[in-house]
Amino acid sequence: MAVKEQIRSYIVECFLLGDATDLMPEQSLLESGVVDSTGILELVMFLEETYHIEVADKEMVPENLDSIANISAFVERKLNGRTPETGGTA
C-alpha cells in the first residue's frame, strides 16, 4: 500500500471511525476537527512505528502534519533521507 493511502486509512479508522466522507488530501486535519493535539501525537507515534522514522519536535508543525498530503510528503522526504529544513541528507 502506498504511503498516502496507508496514512489516509489510519486516519479514517482511528479518528473518523471508518467514515471517510468528504476527507480530502489537502484538508486541514486540525481546522476541520479530525484530529486534536493529542491526535497529532498519536499520528506521530504511528508514523514512527510504521515507517521507522524519527519525528523531531521541530518537525511537528502544520507544514508536515496538518493534512494527508503534507503528512505523506513529509514521510516520503524522511524515507528518502532528506530533511525538510534543508532538502539535504539526514
Q: pLDDT digit string (tens) for 24-82?
A: 999 999 999 999 999 999 999 999 999 999 999 999 999 999 999 999 999 999 999 86
For the entire predicted model, the pTM comes to 0.86
Residue ranges of domains in the chain, CATH in brackets: 3-20+28-79 (1.10.1200.10)
Name the 3-class secondary structure at 29. Answer: coil
CB 57 within 8 A of CB 78: no
The gap from C-alpha 79 to its chain's centroid, in whole angstroms, comes to: 13
